[in-house]
Amino acid sequence: MLDIRRIREEPETIAAALARRGVDPDALEEVRALDARRRELITEGDELRAVQKQRSREIGGAGSPQEREALIAEVKKVSARLDELEPAQREAEEALEAALAVLPNLPHPEAPEGEEEDDAVELSAFGARPAFDFAVRDHVELGEALGIIDIPRGVKVSGSRFAFLLGHAVLLEFALVRYALDRLAPEGFTPVIPPVLTREEPLYGTAFLPTGAEQIYAVERDELYLVGTSEVPLAGLHAEEILDEADLPVRYAGFSTCFRREAGTYGKDTRGIFRVHQFDKVEMFSFCLPERSEEEHARLRDLQVDLLSGLGLHGRVVDIAVGDLGASAARKYDCEVYLPGQDAYRELTSASNCTDYQARRLRARYRDAEGENVLLHTLNGTAIAVGRTIIALLETHQRADGTVAVPEALQPHLGTEVLA
């Protein structure tokens, strides 16, 4: 959610920033008109309510029966007018809220121009690109041969884009999770297992709703939703709260299963487990001071690089183009890891700085030195997307005989040096 006061005070600046993301200036104009209407109704309503309260008190203070009757008659008139006004006020507020809710965050001034994935700007690279003197297999071939990924049976049980992980793949998952949590703990990230079914509020707060509803599994009967990332419950953790400045930044490493409908991705990444409806992920989430969020964003990015390169993976960091940002993000860095099976760099992790956009929706604030309540900044970044990391590990560390070397960092957790 954008700051309505800023929209009021510097509409041209906001319009220009949103234009970079392709937002129609008319949408902003509508917001301004709705805001004006709302404020008009609030002013009128507040004045009437003030009269109503004042007169009601006077009635209590006695007077003659005649005075009393006259006052009651007057108040009734005011109340009648308010009965008309209040629904109008509520509608105006809801209309403004709805119009404001669909506007995305303002992009960071340095976020690259562009509409799509290809417009991302490469910032850096990490790890050595793997070289093979044999025909590489992809993770499906490797996983099936090793008996650790079973896609046909996943489809049998749950439909397309579902799979079973078995044996070493499961141990690999737990090793990866432990590896990530161990790396993050000294950085101040508290491990969290959040609820994966949430109410509507946290989804709205993180801006997965109302835009993006088609990506979310809904349990309608109970008015709950399956989250697509633990970003949702982690953001909700401090919703409606006012944190102490001394406690900031507050960092969490959430482990959860993630559910995504992947609507509109027919035909995209249909092979293997790259794009599935259910996967597990360790997610970093930070609540921090506004003036520290850029620094925090760089920290999340660097941790991602550290985690991936620590697994012997090769990839690059890209700065996502403004047109390709999620609604909440002002800026986003992705780590794209080289997957030998696809001979391509694919997104394994992503870190977003959502500035105060989510915090405003969530009402997550802190009290500053002057005693003012100020919106926090929120950031989220993948620590380990388990499924995709397994893909990268299998494909990167495969050997001519179809076995896979286990990176040193995982060996203690996995108890083996090779998957065979």
Partner RNA sequence: GGAGGCGUGGCCGAGCGGACGAAGGCAGCGGUCUUGAAAACCGCCAGGCACCUCGCGUGUCUCGAGGGUUCGAAUCCCUCCGCCUCCGCCA
Do residues 201 and 236 lie in contact, with contact meaning Cβ atoms separated by under 8 Å? yes
The active-site residue out of 173, 231, 294, 347 is 347
* φ/ψ of residue 232, rounded to 5: -65, -60
Site for RNA in 345-364 (CB under 7 A): 363
Q: Which of 9, 24, 46, 245 binds RNA (CB under 7 A)?
A: 46
C-alpha 160/C-alpha 277 separation (Å) is: 9
Segment interacting with RNA, rule: CB under 7 A, options 12-20, 40-48, 186-194, 294-302: 40-48
Segment interacting with RNA, rule: CB under 7 A, options 71-79, 118-126, 286-294, 306-314: 71-79
Site for RNA in 83-102 (CB under 7 A): none
Helix H or strand E encompassing 98: helix 65-101
C-alpha 348/C-alpha 33 separation (Å) is: 42
Q: Is 158 in the site for RNA (CB under 7 A)?
A: no
Residue type, 357: Y
C-alpha 14/C-alpha 329 separation (Å) is: 15
End-to-end CA distance of the chain: 51
C-alpha 335/C-alpha 284 separation (Å) is: 14
Q: Is 373 in the site for RNA (CB under 7 A)?
A: yes
SS3 363: coil
Does residue 39 have an active-site annotation? no
Q: Is 57 in the site for RNA (CB under 7 A)?
A: yes
Work out how close the CB of 59 gets to RNA at its nearest, in angstroms, rounded to a whole number. Answer: 4
Q: Which of 9, 10, 24, 47 binds RNA (CB under 7 A)?
A: 47
Q: Which is nearer to RNA, 48 or 409 (CB)?
A: 48
Q: Is 61 in the site for RNA (CB under 7 A)?
A: yes
Owner of token pair 């990924």:
149
Q: Is 54 in the site for RNA (CB under 7 A)?
A: yes
Residue count, binding to RNA (CB under 7 A): 29
Q: Is 77 in the site for RNA (CB under 7 A)?
A: no
Q: Is 72 in the site for RNA (CB under 7 A)?
A: yes
Query: What is the DSSP code (8-state) at residue 188?
Result: T
Q: Which of 20, 30, 32, 56 binds RNA (CB under 7 A)?
A: 56
Q: Which of 242, 400, 418, 420 binds RNA (CB under 7 A)?
A: 242
The active-site residue out of 37, 178, 261, 275 is 275
Q: For residue 385, what are the contacts with CB-CB under 8 A and spacing of at least 6? A: 279, 281, 348, 349
Strands 242-244 and 365-367 come out as: parallel
Q: Is 37 in the site for RNA (CB under 7 A)?
A: no
Task: Label residue 247 exposed, middle or buried (CB < 10 Å: 0-12, 13-18, 19+).
Answer: exposed
Q: Which of 17, 28, 31, 52 binds RNA (CB under 7 A)?
A: 52
* Buried-state track 338-377, b at ≥16 Cβ within 10 A, e below 16: bbbbbeebbbbbbbbbbbbbbbbbbebbbeeeeeeebbbb
Does residue 260 have an active-site annotation? yes
Does residue 56 have an active-site annotation? no
SS3 410: helix
Q: Is 42 in the site for RNA (CB under 7 A)?
A: yes
The active-site residue out of 256, 293, 350, 352 is 350
Q: Which is nearer to RNA, 62 or 135 (CB)?
A: 62
Q: Which is nearer to RNA, 55 or 275 (CB)?
A: 55
SS3 284: strand
* φ/ψ of residue 405, rounded to 5: -75, 140
Q: Which is nearer to RNA, 224 or 405 (CB)?
A: 224
Q: Which is nearer to RNA, 110 or 222 (CB)?
A: 222
Work out how close the CB of 53 gets to RNA at its nearest, in angstroms, rounded to a whole number. Answer: 4
Q: Which is nearer to RNA, 60 or 159 (CB)?
A: 60
* Buried-state track 57-74, b at ≥16 Cβ within 10 A, e below 16: eebeeeeeeeeeeebeee
Q: Is 49 in the site for RNA (CB under 7 A)?
A: yes
Segment interacting with RNA, rule: CB under 7 A, options 19-27, 73-81, 302-310, 341-349: 73-81
Site for RNA in 196-215 (CB under 7 A): none
Does residue 161 have an active-site annotation? no
- Where on the chain is the footprint of RNA (CB under 7 A)? 4-5, 39, 42-43, 45-47, 49-50, 52-61, 72, 75-76, 79, 242, 363, 365, 367, 373
Residues labelled catalytic: 260, 275, 347, 350, 388
